Structure 1
Amino acid sequence: MATLKEKRTCGQRCQDFGHFVWNSDDGTFMGRTPEKWVYISLYYVAFYVVMTSLFALAIYVLMYTINPYTPDYQDRLKSPGVMVWPDTYNDEVLEITYNMSEKHSWMKMSECLTHFLKPYNDSTQHHCNIHNCTSGKYFFQHKFDGPKHTKWSCPFYQSTLGNCSGIDDPTFGYKTAQPCVIIKMNRVINFLPNNGTGMAPYVNCTVLEGHENVRGHVYYPANGTMDLSYFPYYGKLAQPTYVNPLVAVKFDLINQRHAKIQCRVMSKNIAYQNIYDPYEGKVDFYLTALS
């Protein structure tokens, strides 16, 4: 007949645990002699040193073979996207809506453009980008001749945007029914708008809805041109002072002062019919001036 196992007290359990931690009879610590613990510790130290060294070597080889100036794979960006400022984007559509009679409403738009154009300040550009670029020609650079092993960047002056520069009119027309919007094309490394030909890309804005509410629009610079001297772009590390060329468009709204606008960058190598990316090569937005 099986006998019941004797129930051990808490003190006995603690005594057993202490005996396991240090057994004075066998001279073992947690079941092993100090000599064996030394061997085990040396083994794991050696193991992790080898693993860490292999990992460090793999990272070193990887970083050594990567060009820090140009991504190895750029297949996701064959054609640049286009954006508009003020950037009042939401989940579905882009709406630039302001109230001419409410100062905080139109000031919100003008402050957005003021902040966006800070890097383009004439004094800042004259200080950062001192290279004298040749207008109308691609600016190819095969060497890092710029300061601190960089490449030169062409200046783009805020004053180039004329009546939409915010210099003479800090409200950018948002106090009236003649607002300015700024079109910017996103950067793509080594991208040439026209396969190396001499035709510069330009912005073309059309009214999709509300034609009767737009009397006209004016481009700055003239003809909405993005000069070829800003291409190609070599990357942030190679051109830390690079700024995107911009095109400003001043609209003259009348009647209901509401319209849907599409601004497209016209160039041979810029697609605009990608249904998966509505901002590739173009940007659609609603422009509304309330009173």
Structure 2
Amino acid sequence: MATLKEKRTCAQRCEDFGHFVWNSDNGTLFGRTLIKWVYISLYYVVFYIVMSALFSLAIYVLMYTLDPYAPDYQDRLSSPGVMVWPDTYDDEKVVIAYNTSNKMSWMKMVNSIRTLIHPYNDTLQEHHNPHNCTAERYFLQNSFNGPNHTKWACAFYQSTLGDCSGIDDPTFGYTTSQPCVIIKMNRIIGFLPNNGTGLAPRLNCTVLEGGENVSGYEYHPYNGTFDLSYFPYYGKLAQPNYVNPLVAVKFNLIKQKTAKIECRVVAKNIAYENYYDPFEGKVIFNLTTMS
């Protein structure tokens, strides 16, 4: 009959473990001799050096083949989004509401527009974008002839916005019932707007609700055009001084002084009926004045 295996004490187990860590009889550490530890250490050193070299080579080849001025793959929309200032966005709605007798109310609108058009100051534009661009023509550039290996960008002057420039009226009409709104298209690298006639895309605003409360509105620049000379956009690195062309609209509100307005950019290749993106090609906002 087999005898029961004797239960080992804690001291014996510790002694066995110590013997495993260092066996003085055959000179092994954790079951391996010194020469084997040297071989296995060298193996892993060489292994990780080779893996690091392959990883570095892959990153180098990737970065060498990438164009730093434009992404190889763009998942952005092919048609630009349209934004409005004052940028009082609430989820997917834009409500521009102010009280002419409440300074804090209309100053919020004024400061929003001032922040937007600050880079468009005439003096700043003359300094940053001195290139003489040809109006009504695409500004195509195949080389980097600008300063520090960049491409030129066309100046857009604050004064181009006329009555909505803030030069003559620093409140942009928000102390009255004739407020200004600024419309801007988002940038898309390489995008060339085409309205099918060879003319620049233009802004078209329509009063959807409260037409009786709007006696009229005017565009700045004239006819609300986005001049072709601001297209195409080559990217932030290639055109560090680029500024988006703007269109200002000055409304004259009467009676109840409230209206729902849609402003969309009219061009053949600019979509405006995207159910999933209400700001593609157009923007809808509510304009309300109180006194």
Q: TM-score, normalised by structure 1?
A: 0.93
| Cα displacement string for residues 68-92 of structure 1 (whole angstroms, at most 9, x for unaligned residues) | 2232234642211111111111223
Q: CA deviation at 1:277?
A: 1.6
Q: CA deviation at 1:203?
A: 0.8
What is aligned with 1:290?
A: 290
Q: Distance in 2 between matches of 1:234 and 1:196?
A: 23
Amino acid at match of 2:222: A
Of the structure 1 ranges 12-21 and 32-41, higher mean CA displacement relative to structure 2 is found in 12-21
What is aligned with 2:146?
A: 146
Give 3-state SS (helix, strand or coil) of 1:184's partner.
strand
Q: CA deviation at 1:25?
A: 2.7
Amino acid at match of 1:274: N
Q: Structure 2 matches for 1:45-124, cutoff 5 A?
A: 45-74=45-74, 76-124=76-124
Structure 1's 156 and 2: CA in aligned 2 closer, same or farther, altered over 3 A? farther
| Cα displacement string for residues 134-185 of structure 1 (whole angstroms, at most 9, x for unaligned residues) | 1121111111100111110001111111121122222211222211111001
Q: Distance in 1 between matches of 2:13 and 2:169?
A: 86
What is aligned with 1:41?
A: 41
Point out where structure 2 has 5 or more consecutive residues left out of the alignment.
Answer: none
Q: CA deviation at 1:205?
A: 0.7
Amino acid at match of 1:185: M
What is aligned with 1:28?
A: 28
| Cα displacement string for residues 41-64 of structure 1 (whole angstroms, at most 9, x for unaligned residues) | 111111112222222222222222
What is aligned with 2:157?
A: 157
Structure 1's 73 and 196: CA in aligned 2 closer, same or farther, altered over 3 A? farther
Q: CA deviation at 1:114?
A: 0.9
1:8 aligns with 2:9: yes
Amino acid at match of 1:209: E
Question: Is the 8 Å Cα contact of residues 137 and 198 (structure 1) preserved in structure 2?
Answer: no
Q: Distance in 1 between matches of 2:148 and 2:201?
A: 31
Amino acid at match of 1:3: L
| Cα displacement string for residues 173-202 of structure 1 (whole angstroms, at most 9, x for unaligned residues) | 122221111100111112111179630111
Q: Distance in 1 between matches of 2:63 and 2:195?
A: 31
Q: CA deviation at 1:107?
A: 0.9
Give 3-state SS (helix, strand or coil) of 1:94's partner.
strand
What is aligned with 2:275?
A: 275
Q: Distance in 2 between matches of 1:196 and 1:260?
A: 29
Q: Distance in 1 between matches of 2:282 and 2:267?
A: 11
1:254 aligns with 2:254: yes
| Cα displacement string for residues 226-249 of structure 1 (whole angstroms, at most 9, x for unaligned residues) | 111101111111111100000011
1:225 aligns with 2:193: no
1:243 aligns with 2:211: no
Q: CA deviation at 1:26?
A: 2.5
Q: Structure 2 matches for 1:158-177, cutoff 5 A?
A: 158-177=158-177
Structure 1's 254 and 13: CA in aligned 2 closer, same or farther, altered over 3 A? farther
Point out where structure 1 has 5 or more consecutive residues left out of the alignment.
Answer: none
Q: CA RMSD in A?
A: 1.9
Give 3-state SS (helix, strand or coil) of 2:136's partner.
coil
Of the structure 1 ranges 55-64 and 245-254, higher mean CA displacement relative to structure 2 is found in 55-64
Q: CA deviation at 1:108?
A: 1.0
What is aligned with 2:209?
A: 209
